[in-house]
Amino acid sequence: MLRRFRTLKHSFVNDQTIEPTQVAGFNQFFDGINGESSWRYGVGIDQQVLDNMRIGYEWSQRDIKYPDIQTQSTLLITERLHRAYWNYIIMEGLVASVDYLYSFYDNASYFEIARNLETHKLPFGLSYFSANGLSLHIKPAYYSQKGEYSDDFVNFIPQKSDFLLLDLSAQYRLPKRYGLITLGVLNVFDNRFAYTDTDFQRSSLFPERIFFSSVTLSIQ
């Protein structure tokens, strides 16, 4: 599939909308700065190569313009993303997966503390699903990030960070699919690391061990 579309970030008050969050599988809404506009280009392919194996690839680019209140000018950012995945059913109830994600942001103005931010993510997954509704999930992941960082918003110093993380979780599916109960641990080995998340409102990684639980109910 090949797509090209334009989006405009609404103010927080106007964020509620009936517009679809995706266009042909590509996100069109992002947590950015009010008034920013962007063009997004994307190419994606998904293929089932065997009865028990699927592969896929996605490339996308966002050319973003947003208003700088201090300088009364328009600033530009280019964001590029590559993603490839492989899913394989080893045997009944046992599934393996590998993902590769690459992202690049060329402009520091959006983050104010980093520029030319290049990130590689390589998560692996192994999941076991039991007929009684219980499932177990193991997810080790390798991260590599480099960029130019600043403490004073003026002088930027090149830095690089590489680290490994391990997440574990268990889920129980309630009878008649009424919901899920989840228990898990993020960053099992309590690793400390330096990482700049491009989603400044919801961080996806934590430099400490996190225990969590959740209950998801489906009302039918």
> Stretch 191-197: mean pLDDT, rounded?
87
Let me know the angle formed at the C-alpha of 75 by 24 and 201, rounded to the nearest 5 degrees. Answer: 60
pLDDT at 155: 79
Of 88 and 117, the structure prediction assigns the larger pLDDT to: 88
pTM: 0.77
- Partnered with residue 50 across adjacent β-strands are 53
Residue 37: half-sphere exposure toward Cβ, Cα within 13 Å: 3
pLDDT at 5: 46
- Give 47-95 pLDDT, tens digit per residue: 999 999 999 999 988 887 776 666 666 777 788 999 999 999 999 999 9
Confidence bin at 167 (pLDDT 50/70/90): very high
Of 97 and 205, the structure prediction assigns the larger pLDDT to: 97
- Partnered with residue 206 across adjacent β-strands are none
Residue 192: half-sphere exposure toward Cβ, Cα within 13 Å: 0
pLDDT at 71: 64
Confidence bin at 13 (pLDDT 50/70/90): very low
pLDDT at 118: 93
> Stretch 188-214: mean pLDDT, rounded?
84
- Partnered with residue 76 across adjacent β-strands are 65
pLDDT at 16: 54
- The set of residues, in sequence order, having a beta carbon less than 8 Å from that of 76 and lying 6+ positions away, is 63, 64, 65, 107
Q: Where are the domains positioned within the chain? A: 1-80, 92-220
- Which range is most confident: 15-19, 39-43, 103-107, 118-122? 118-122
Instruction: Answer positive or negative: Cα dihedral of 174, 176, 177, 178.
Output: negative
Q: How far apart are alpha carbons 55 and 48 in whole angstroms? A: 6
- Whole-number Cα distances in Å, 220 to 50, 75, 134: 35, 47, 22
